[in-house]
Amino acid sequence: MRWAVVVFPGSNCDRDAEQAIRLVTGDPVDLVWHDADDLSGYDAIVLPGGFSYGDYLRAGAIARFSPVVRAVAREAERGKPVIGICNGFQILTESGLLPGALLPNRHLQFRCEMAELRVETNDSPFTRLYTPGEVIRIPIAHGEGRYHAEPEVLEELRRERRVAFRYVENPNGSVDDIAGILNPKRNVLGLMPHPERAVIDWMGSEDGIRMFQSIHAHVEEGLSHA
C-alpha cells in the first residue's frame, strides 16, 4: 500500500508523520503538495498537524480551499481511510468532511503535553488494534483544540459510536471530553492528539504505533480481497 501525507503551506508535522508511518509499517509514503488534485494512486491519506496558512481567520479555514481537499473528499467517498491529525482535524471540520468545529482552547493557552485518551471504539480502520476502554498516552500540541458541536450532532456521534477517543482529563474544554471523531462511514478520523509523536520509546509513549498498524492492516486486507 502507498500513503499520501498532504503538505499545506504551514504544515509542520508532515515529516514526523512520514517518518512514523515508514518506521511503523515499512510502507512507501509520499509527501504531496496541497495543489494536487488527484490522490487516486494512494490507499491512505494523512492530513498532518501544523499551522496551515498561519491559522489565519481560524485554523483550517483557508486550507479547506486548497485543491487537494476536493481530492481528499473524493477518495474518502470511495471509502479510503483519511486521518486528520490536529491541524488536519481542523481542516476536516472546516471542509465539512467531519461535523462540528475546533475553537480556541477554553483557557486560551497553547498546550503541548502528554495526554491520556480512552479508546471508545475499535470499530474503525484506525482503532482496530486497540481495546475499547483502553487508556493510551498520546501527546497534544494545540491552541485551537476545543471540539464543539450542536446537541443534535453530539447525540448522533454518541448514538452511532463515532467518538473514537475521549480525554481522560480534558485539557482544552472540548465538549463531552471529545478528542477524536469518525464520519458516518467510519473511514475518516479527525483527532487533536498526535499519534506520530508516540511511536518510539524515547518519545515517552509508543501507543501511536497501533493506529498506523491498524490502517495498514485494514488496507492490506482490502487489497488482498480485491
Ligand X SMILES: NC(=O)CC[C@H](N)C(=O)O
Binding residues for ligand X, rule: CB under 6 A, are: 13, 49-51, 55, 59, 86-87, 90, 141-145
142 is catalytic: no
Least Å distance between CB 226 and ligand X?
A: 34
CB of 176 to ligand X, least distance (A): 19
By beta-carbon distance, which residue lies closest to ligand X?
Answer: 49
Least Å distance, CB 100 to ligand X, is 15
Minimum separation from the CB atom of position 90 to ligand X (A): 6
> From the candidates 13, 120, 196, 218, which is the catalytic residue?
196
Nearest residue (CB) to ligand X, 55 versus 75: 55
**Which residue in this structure is represented by grid cell 473524493?**
74
- Cell numbers describing residue 86: 490536529
Residue 76's Cβ-side half-sphere holds a number of Cα atoms within 13 Å equal to: 26
The Cα–Cα gap between 104 and 30 comes to 31
How far apart, in whole angstroms, are the C-alpha atoms of residue 194 and residue 53?
20
With cell 491529525, the residue in question is 85
216 belongs to the catalytic site:
no
- Quick one: 198 or 219, whose CB is closer to ligand X? 198
Q: How far apart are CA 169 and CA 60, in angstroms?
A: 25
86 is catalytic: yes
User: Which position among 13, 18, 75, 86 bears the catalytic label?
Assistant: 86
CA distance linking residue 126 with residue 76, whole number of Å: 14
As annotated, the active-site residues are: 86, 194, 196
